[in-house]
Amino acid sequence: MRHEHPAPHEYSVVNKPTVHDSAVKHVSGTATYIDDIREPAGLLHVVPGWCRDAIRGRIISMDLEAVRNASGVVAVLTASDVPGKNDCSPSLGDDPVFAEGEIQFYGQVVFAVVAKTRDEARRAALLAKIEVEHVTPILTVGDAIDADITVLPDYQFRKGSPETGMAQAGRKLSGSMRIGGQEHFYLEGQVAMALPGEDGDMHVYSSTQHPTEVQHTVAKVLGQPDAAVTIEVRRMGGGFGGKESQANQWAALAAIAARATGAPCKCRLDRDDDMIMTGKRHDFRADWAVGFDDGGQIRAIDMQYFARCGYSADLSLGVVDRTMFHSDNSYYYPDAIINTRRLKTDTVSNTAFRGFGGPQGTLAAERVIEAIAISLGKDPLEIRKANFYREGRNITPYGMTVDEYETLHTIVTQLEASSQYWERREEVRTFNAGSHVLKKGLALTPVKFGIAFTLKHLNQAGALVHVYTDGSIHLNHGGTEMGQGLYQKVAQVVAEEFGVSLDRVRITATHTGKVPNTGPTAASSGSDLNGMAAKRAAEAIKARMVAFAAQEFDIEPELIEFRDNQVILGNEAMDFGALARQAHLNRIQLSEAGFYATPKITWERETASGRPFLYFAYGAACSEVTIDTMTGEMRVDRVDILHDVGHSLNPALDIGQIEGGFVQGMGWLTTEELVWDEKGRLRTHAPSTYKIPTASDVPAAFNVSLFESKGNPEDTIYRSKAVGEPPIMLANSVFSAIVDAVASLKPGVVPPLDAPATPEAILKAVTAMKRMESAAE
Amino acid sequence: MRDCIRFLHRGEIVEVNDFKPTDTVLDYLRLNRGLKGTKEGCAEGDCGACTVALGRVEGERVTYRPINSCILFLGQVDGAELVTVDDLAQDGTLHPVQQALVDFHGSQCGFCTPGFVMSLFTLYHAPDKTADRRIVTDWLAGNLCRCTGYRPIIDAALNSCFDAADDVFSRREAHTRKVLQSLADGRDALIGAESFFAAPATVEGLASLYEKHPDATIVAGATDVGLWVTKQLRELKKIIWLGRVEGLDRIEETTGGLLLGAGATYSVAEPYFSRVDPDLGELFRRIGSRQVRASGTVGGNIANGSPIGDTPPALIALGATLELRKGEAARTVALEDFFIDYGKQDRAQGEFVTGLYVPKLDPNQIFRTYKISKRFDQDISAVMGAFRFTVVEALITDARIAYGGMAATPKRAAGAEGALIGARMDDPSSWAAALKAILEDFTPLSDMRASAEYRREAARALLAKALMEAAGTDDAMTRVTGHRKLESVDAA
């Protein structure tokens, strides 16, 4: 399939590597996060209280007298103090703001202290006496499978005739792997500040990716209409999915406290509380069986994904659906069963995390490929390529056709060359032959990631653009800024449309009063949706200005051009602001609400049919690692990445997303281990025990390039592609390289490596390999 | 007696006498001064978002060190220059490290950025350094970023921190030095009464104060005690800070060993240990982060009694002895005997650690130490092993082996030590008894850092590795990190 689009160099603002809109403020310490907003007089502080020895059980008694009497305490709130509905769930009504009657997981909020200082509130919160009738909790995937308990019904994709396919396949393999969860570790913890207004109004500053949902939640808990609640957020100190639904509760607490006391209230979580009380990436067990031929081509596959969802549904429907949508990664399955179970456990409810279930889906797919390669004694890259989507083999397990497979092939071919994969494969082989303790591994893995919310109605966005009479432009849209540079990208789009420099476009905080009924900034969709909505708003205003100018100056509209902060009128030119002023004097509307709904999306979950995605984003990564087979320690030696962003809106920001996403994914698969003890208490609830990558974990040889794209074949904003989530899965190459290193110990044996590949996990796999070796001898 | 603390901030001497002994510098900045540039990320000294720089006169110059302000008590800035992210840009012009972070796209969400700026500011002012990526990654190990993947920040550092310092701080260094010297008045400071923050100026003053208030908490860097306050919300009414005690931070190097004052920070001690053995340098480099090492002390690491402190196993293997003092009485104890049980040390009420003597290695001694953790930098060890073999013509005549993370205290591996006597370096089969004995030496626990099984297996692996390397195997073939031949990344 051929597609050609305007070359990026024709643009004046879009496609330029401009710095993040807040970069200077970031480095100066003047970028204002919610806890930095000058506090209103009389501000009170809210701290959630919880029961430190309960996992699950009925609340027998609750003695909060000492809490109430503690220094500085103004109010103590429980479920009975919620004026509206005691629920902060994104949809199903199963996440109480305050536990009511029973505690459902370790860290569940039972009450809240409102005090004059945060320190007083924190100290008072420790004084509660809560008696609980303990119930043996269900903690693990295995526990939940045994108990046969889920938060949502099982769901399956079925393609072709998998039973027949499996029966006809010449070779068969099966296995099982565990995939760990991940803590978001946004550097700015959860925070909200609520300011009560007149007539029941509530204005809430919330560090959220989903202001509209926070608005709905606050309205719901206060028993007020949505219109009484306004949510505002200028920026987050990181989100990564952890502030999609998980920001609701803290905004609700601040608002309930503000309503109860009549004072402005702020709720900022302590880091440990944050890590204990908020959901994480789902951990999984993936059981797989594959039938394939002698060439390693897959004939049929059976994937069973068991997701640990925690105590409530939260976003697990969509998350685990996305696991299914990415159970193929880039590989064609002629016949397939993709089955998922959403297991209910008495643990914190797992939630969105960059990739939204997709990474777990792809990691299991890579395990299948590696198993095939190892069993055939072939290089995994050969097997990967043999199974790529291609002409005539391009229908996914969910029925969508993959049209743009050539992009995937080209990326992998180019990366194979630029990373010198085959030369290094020989070097690795030579090294391993001469090295007893240390073993090297190499892997090149692809990424194909579907772009669109699989929940159809979320694929819409609004923007509000005003042109003032001095030519300055006010930009607002429903997307939120969490560091990804969305505000900057959308500002570039608007500046491009009006032909003005970026400094003419004033970026403003996301605000539910300006742009209503928005979806979350998630699913990598921020610039696709909001860029397009803002473009439409700008286009509408521009069209009116052109029509006015054509009439006013008696010139053909085609001869009017907006560029360099000017409006070119044939041989004449005038300042953009001068035209705005004249248009205003002639009663031309210079404000517009733009709206965009993603086209072509037709997915129907009930029938598992239709098209869930507008397009796919592609990339590939090649990683080399060295493991110590005595201790299990591991070092990443080199990483090469080639990633497709279509025509980039901003190459610098896109590179930032790719590098940052890769490293975050690498952390998920290596050093970041969530550990619960046998009682069900999270033991890794601080950066002292939960280890995200640090600077020295990133190899010096870290070569990241943007694929030279002909542009997105779909009509997206300036033919760009979404970039937020896909790079997480580039880190599969690190995990696969570790598998490759362990596999070198014993040809023909698939290393039983689980994620994350901590030193202990690697040593366990090494030890298992050695045992298999001795068993064979 | 002085009843306030004094420090230099924005060119002015600030005096504060109204604060709780456990008030942190971060809360002081954000809540009292309304300076919101410095961020709280974790309030436990692990993420670095709260990093500030403290300038003190070291030798002839003002040295700026990065500090986690979230767990630094306000009193600990006494006598220093306090520099925060709010102070760097001058008249609208960014500091070179700030400008480089902008130019290299080194910020995304920006919340960690003020901390990176301040760490880079201290690197910018560090003397005698070469533009080496390893120096940068070590310098930044205590600053977590969740957005960028670090590459642009490292590039920004490499491009801004390695020219001669030329900023307002370097230009007014002579003046700053004079002011800081004027603040060093040699008087004891005591702020408060029933509840107090005390900063005695002499060992005698310290001894008498502690004898009078044995219920006081002694802090050196507060890198652990700070968390008692920010995380456990413990009320510490009386704090005695060692940072001003004259001579307590001394390090004396003799031909036979190192004499270390209890107040010597890891950062200052690191090069001395590095010269004793490269593995010790690497061990120090991997303790906490630059921020933690600039505050934390070897003495504190010992006195604290943690079973997972990183220095005790190495110091025990080296045969270190500890000096303690109570009132006028001083005594010496072998370091391994100081650790009695979990949370219990051989330290009487009112007694405190004054120093440490660490023998250097004899020419016929081979030393190795290894740390296993989930992450290489700024992590607490799951298992830590230290080995000193005395070898006479390939015959092992003595072995001192100590582990951390394997028991309730740092502990010697008596069985393995005994089994090695008489083994030969040139005969790996003679190591078998020791490699078997090590599995019986400890009964480790399972926790969030590792399982008991892993710990036992890793302890054995480390002994085997130490023997392999001692017998001559190049560590390029036995280690994925911390190679001895690489130049130390120590830079001041």
- B484 located within any domain: no
Q: Could you tell me if B212 and B354 lie in one domain?
A: no
pLDDT greater than 60 at residue A35 = yes
Q: Is residue B4 part of a domain?
A: no
Q: What residue has token string 């070897």?
A: B298
Q: Is residue B488 part of a domain?
A: no
- Is residue A469 pLDDT above 70, yes or no? yes
pLDDT tens track for A719-761: 999 999 999 999 999 999 999 999 999 999 999 999 999 999 9
Domain membership flag for residue B166:
yes
Q: Residues of B numbered 131-150 whose beta carbons fall under 8 angstroms of chain A's beta carbons: which are they?
A: 133-134, 136-138, 140-141, 143-150
Indicate the average pLDDT of chain A: 97
Same domain, yes or no, for B374 and B352? no
Question: Has residue B75 been placed in a domain?
Answer: yes
Do residue A655 and residue B105 have CB atoms under 8 angstroms apart? yes
Mutate to test the interface with B, among A696, A723, A771 (most CBs of B within 10 A): A696
Considering the domain architecture, whether residues B166 and B23 belong to the same structural domain is answered as: yes
Among residues B325, B359, B393, which one ends one of the domains?
B359
Residues in B 382-441 with any Cβ partner in A closer than 8 A? 382
ipTM of the complex: 0.97
Give me the CATH number covering residue B255. Answer: 3.30.465.10
Q: Can you tell me the distance from the alpha carbon of A373 to that of A375, in angstroms, rounded to the nearest whole number?
A: 5
Cβ within 8 Å, pair B480-A626: yes
B158 and B194 both lie in a single domain: no
Per-residue pLDDT tens for A477-508? 999 999 999 999 999 999 999 999 999 999 99
CB contacts, 8 Å: B154 with chain A: 695, 698
Angle at B435 between CA B430 and CA B441, to 5 degrees: 135
Q: Is A725 an annotated catalytic residue?
A: yes
Q: A635 to chain B: nearest residue by CA?
A: B480
CB distance from B232 to chain A under 8 Å?
A: no
* Interchain proximity B448–A684, CB inside 8 Å: yes
pLDDT the model gives residue A7: 67
- CATH assignment, A40-136+184-277: 3.30.365.10
CB-nearest partner of B480 from A22, A635, A652 = A635
The domain A8-31+460-597 having CATH identifier 3.30.365.10: the answer here is yes
Q: Are residues B176 and B95 in the same domain?
A: yes
Query: Which chain B residue shows the shortest CA-CA distance from A480?
Result: B109
Residues of B (361-380) whose Cβ lies below 8 Å from A: 370, 372-380
Chain pair A-B, CB pairs under 8 angstroms: 258
CA dist., res. A303 & res. A174, Å (int):
10
Kindly determine whether residue A187 and residue B117, on different chains, have CB atoms separated by under 8 Å.
no
Say if residue A776's pLDDT is above 60.
no
* Contact predicate B264/B243, CB 8 Å: no
Could you give the residue range(s) of every CATH 3.30.365.10 domain in chain A?
8-31+460-597, 40-136+184-277, 401-454+613-777
Residues B466 and B437 reside in one and the same domain = yes
Closest Cα in chain B to A35: B36
For chain B, 492 residues long, give each residue's pLDDT as a single digit of tens: 899 999 999 999 999 999 999 999 999 999 999 999 999 999 999 999 999 999 999 999 999 999 999 999 999 999 999 999 999 999 999 999 999 999 999 999 999 999 999 999 999 999 989 999 999 999 999 999 999 999 999 999 999 999 999 999 999 999 999 999 999 999 999 999 999 999 999 999 999 999 999 999 999 999 999 999 999 999 999 999 999 999 999 999 999 999 999 999 999 999 999 999 999 999 999 999 999 999 999 999 999 888 888 999 999 999 999 999 999 999 999 999 999 999 899 999 999 999 999 999 999 999 999 999 999 999 999 999 999 999 999 999 999 999 999 999 999 999 999 999 999 999 999 999 999 999 999 999 999 999 999 999 999 999 999 999 999 999 999 999 999 986 444 444
Residue B483 lies in a domain: no
Residue B5 maps to a domain: no
Contact across the interface for A695 and B377, Cβ inside 8 Å: yes
Q: Supply the pLDDT for residue A6.
A: 61
Q: Least CB-CB distance to A23: which of B102, B134, B136?
A: B102
Domain-terminating residue out of B332, B359, B386: B359
- The alpha helices in A8-76, defined as continuous H runs, are 23-28, 65-69
- Which chain A residues are closer than 8 Å to B46 by Cβ? 686-688
Query: Of the candidates B98, B147, B481, which has its C-beta nearest A28's C-beta?
Result: B98
Which of B233, B451, B464 lies closest to A126 in CB terms? B233
3-state secondary structure of A348: coil
Instruction: Choose, from A120, A188, A370, A725, the residue flagged as catalytic.
Output: A725
Over residues A651-690, the pLDDT tens digits come to: 999 999 999 999 999 999 999 999 999 999 999 999 999 9
Smallest Cβ–Cβ distance between B108 and the set A660, A683, A696 belongs to: A660
**Shortest distance, CA B160 to any CA of chain A (angstroms):** 14
**Residue B489: predicted pLDDT:** 47
The candidate with the shortest Cα–Cα distance to A594, out of A536, A516, A528, A529, is A536
**Residue B264: inside a domain:** yes
Residue from the list A184, A691, A702 with its beta carbon closest to the beta carbon of B375: A691
Give the range of the structural domain holding residue B94, as residue numbers without chain letter: 14-183
For chain B, the domain total comes to: 4
Report the chain B residue with the minimal C-alpha distance to residue A33: B111
- Together in a domain, B225 and B270: no
**Strands (DSSP E) along A180-246, which ranges?**
191-196, 202-206, 229-233
Residues in chain B: 492
CB contact under 8 A, A31 and B105: no
Please indicate, yes or no, whether residues B40 and B157 belong to a single structural domain of this protein. yes
Confidence of residue A4 (pLDDT cuts 50, 70, 90): low
Residues B177 and B108 in one domain: yes
Query: In CATH, what number is assigned to the domain containing residue B392?
Result: 3.30.390.50
Q: Which CATH class is domain A401-454+613-777?
A: alpha beta
CATH number at residue B208: 3.30.43.10
Q: Say if CB B85 and CB B37 are below 8 A apart.
A: yes
Q: What is the pLDDT of residues A363-411, one digit of tens each?
A: 999 999 999 999 999 999 999 999 999 999 999 999 999 999 999 999 9
Residues of B in contact with A240 (CB under 8 A): 146
Nearest to A752 by CA among A741, A739, A765: A765
What pLDDT score was predicted for residue A773? 61
Q: Looking at residue A483, what DSSP letter applies?
A: S
- In this predicted model, what pLDDT tens digit does every residue of A422-454 receive, in sequence order? 999 999 999 999 999 999 999 999 999 999 999
Decide if pLDDT at A211 tops 80.
yes
B66 and B162 co-located in one domain: yes
Residue A64 has pLDDT above 70, yes or no: yes
**Domain containing residue B103: CATH number:** 3.10.20.30
Q: Same domain, yes or no, for B221 and B271?
A: no
Q: ω into residue A756 within 30 of 0, thus cis? A: yes
Strand intervals (E) in B76-134: 81-83
pLDDT, position B304? 86
Residues A306, A307, A312, A315, CA torsion sign? negative
